[in-house]
Amino acid sequence: MSHIKLEHKIWVLVADGEKALFLKNDGDTKFPNLTVFREMQEDNPPTREQGTDRPGRFNDGPSIHKSAVAETDWHRIAKDRFADEIAQRLYKFAHRGDFKKIILVAPPVVLGEIRKQLHKEVSDRITAEVPKTLTNHPVPEIEKLLMAA
């Protein structure tokens, strides 16, 4: 991870698979003042609460044996879909010229999924990535953690 500079007007996206906070630094590098200007939330219960069917089975050919099929991980699919929504939202903001620089903060798996979905117009503006889960931290705590990074 490179040194993080919270410049004036830089955006910070703090996300996980179910929640995303869009923050903007209204302060400066020395005294940052991150404010939330947009929030996205996805209701994503565990797979056991989303799917009621048992995993399927299929014939192995002419024999009487059957093989099980892995159960669909609906929770993982919803997280991937949410990462895609975040990437699309960032593209719209970037295309309108709403931000020049952005820092992405998300757990490694979510960060990777968002990164896969990002348009070049957005990825060119990323100044740092922080592979951590900070969505449930208060904003002042996020500021401190980013300043310490």
- 10-residue averages of pLDDT along the chain (149 residues): 82 95 96 96 64 59 66 74 94 97 96 95 97 96 92
Residue 135 structural domain: 11-42+72-148
- Which pLDDT value is given to residue 1? 42
Query: What does the pLDDT read at residue 48?
Result: 58
- Give domain status of residue 123, yes or no: yes
Question: What's residue 76's pLDDT?
Answer: 75
Q: Domain with 19 in it: what CATH number?
A: 3.30.420.60
What is d(CA 57, CA 14) in angstroms, rounded to the nearest whole number?
40
Decide if 55 is inside a domain.
Answer: no
Question: How high is the pLDDT of residue 87?
Answer: 95
Global pTM value: 0.80
Please check whether residue 1 is in contact with residue 7, taking contact to mean a CB–CB distance below 8 angstroms: no
Residue 58, in any domain of the structure? no
- Looking at residue 132, what is its pLDDT? 95
Domains held by the chain: number: 1
Res 136: pLDDT: 93
Task: Give dist(CA 29, CA 7) in Å, integer.
Answer: 5
